[in-house]
Structure 1
Amino acid sequence: MYDSHFNFSELPFSLTPDTQFFLNQRSHKDALSTILVALKHSEGFVKVVGEVGTGKTLLSRILLAELKKDCVTAYVPNPYLSPDELKSFVAQEVGAQFDKDMASHELMSALYRRLVQVHRTGKQVVLIVDEAQAMPRDTVECLRLLTNLETEKRKLLQVVMLGQPELDKLLNRSDLRQLKQRIVFSEYLKPLDKSACRAYIRHRLNSVCSNGENIFSVSAMDLVQKASGGIPRLVNILCHKSLIAAYGRGHKQVALWHVAKAIKDTQESKARILARLLSMELWSPRGELVE
């Protein structure tokens, strides 16, 4: 692959969320700060919404690392669970003593006893739910009931929900209004603008290469931003393919042409940017890439 060609210690644009490559851009920085402040004050529910590919899973991993010392955490990567499955999962993650054949009310009692034990140690219990828009309605209601577990002064379980915009639609249901009222803080992850996208690309390259600053030309980075709409996952895909195109030609710098090649090979970005590419005469009238 191109890693040795560019002297990379590892591939810089992997699609796997990796905290090494986390860049504390304004949108993510605000969301992380809001979550941490809300949890510190035991506010109950926090919601973070972002489009597909905006970095919600990476943010949740950064959050888990931040909370590691002071909190007991439970992370739900796939929330398509029944209410009983959710209760069992949380009980297992926080170390409650329970049996899988327990009645639902007995499981809740076991979970409550464990949450009280954790509270007495001075720690908080935080449940992080990724892809929360996929959670069934009855499970969402169960989540609300779990947060009813409390002492006279504070909640014993706090919840961070991360999801796509469909999460807002789910929470707008009239039969879920009680949970919606408990969401004290909401944050929205925004796509990268031109300046942020340049910083993002350079950050990832500098993380794996001493000369990362100069591998993408400014015009190439700006074209990546335009084609991707600033969605980090698409930025990664286009940068990866652009590096392959440059490697295939033996080039040491990614230029406009290499990005155009990557765009043509990426269906999600092609429609978005095709008109602009035509105006730049990168495509021939027959739709072929001009070299």
Structure 2
Amino acid sequence: MPLIIVDEAHELSVEQFVELRRLLNFGTPGGKAFQLILLGRPELDINLRDAPDFNDRVATRSSLDPLTPDDTRSLIEYRLLAAGRDSKQRPLFADEAILPIWRETRGYPRSICLLCLHLCLELLVQGGTQIDVPFVEAFLEHHQQYRRAAG
């Protein structure tokens, strides 16, 4: 059975949910013509309430909670290893730097990865060797756009 995945589904309008519901009405002698998976932010549940005919057809719901500080550390380590960093090297992120990163991003993986990317680029520009708490705090102070995540 074909599978359709809609990312950023929290951006869909009520009219778009109506159209998706109409598409779901099509079937084959063996059952449904396709399965639909919607991926989105928590606002998706709120938006679905505005489209009750579609909402009634949702068979399963699942959500991912924000990461914990330990999960944040694991994500950062995994991404660095995937990028080719040698695990035997001195850690690029000091242990104590994880907590301010986690607080600033509220544990959202996309925000964590983006902030860490910018921290790494800033470290490269400055010729540093490790990202520690003062480095993170100075970066956040200088780059106020990251304060939106905490706001």
TM-score above 0.5: yes
Deviations 1:82-108 (A, max 9, x none): xxxxxxxxxxxxxxxxxxxxxxxxxxx
Unmatched 5+ stretches in structure 1: 1-123, 274-291
Q: Is the counterpart of residue 186 in structure 1 residue 47 in structure 2?
A: no
CA distance in 1, matches of 2:118, 2:132: 12
Aligned position for 1:232: 109
Q: TM-score, with normalisation over the residues of structure 1?
A: 0.46
Which residue, 201, 207, 210 being the options, matches 2:76? Answer: 201
Aligned position for 2:93: 216
CA distance in 2, matches of 1:207, 1:213: 16
CA distance in 2, matches of 1:135, 1:193: 29
Query: Does structure 1 conserve the Cα–Cα contact (< 8 Å) formed by 2:92 and 2:129?
Result: yes
Aligned position for 1:272: 150
CA RMSD between the two structures: 2.3
Query: Does structure 2 conserve the Cα–Cα contact (< 8 Å) formed by 1:263 and 1:270?
Result: no
Deviation, structure 1 residue 213: 6.6
Percentage of pairs with the same residue: 26
Query: Does structure 2 conserve the Cα–Cα contact (< 8 Å) formed by 1:220 and 1:255?
Result: yes
Structure-2 change in CA distance of 1:210 and 1:256 (3 Å): same
Unmatched 5+ stretches in structure 2: none
Which residue, 130, 148, 151 being the options, matches 1:253? Answer: 130
Deviation, structure 1 residue 136: 2.8
Report the AA paired with residue 65 of structure 2: K
Deviation, structure 1 residue 236: 2.2
**1:61-76 correspondence to structure 2 within 5 Å:** none
Query: Does structure 1 conserve the Cα–Cα contact (< 8 Å) formed by 2:106 and 2:149?
Result: no
**Between structures 1 and 2, the one with greater helix share:** 2
Secondary structure at the aligned position of 1:216 is classed as: coil
Deviation, structure 1 residue 241: 2.9
Q: Which has the higher contact order (CA 8 A, sep 6+)?
A: 1
**1:98-117 correspondence to structure 2 within 5 Å:** none
State the structure with more CA Rg: 1
Report the AA paired with residue 237 of structure 1: L
How many residues matched? 148
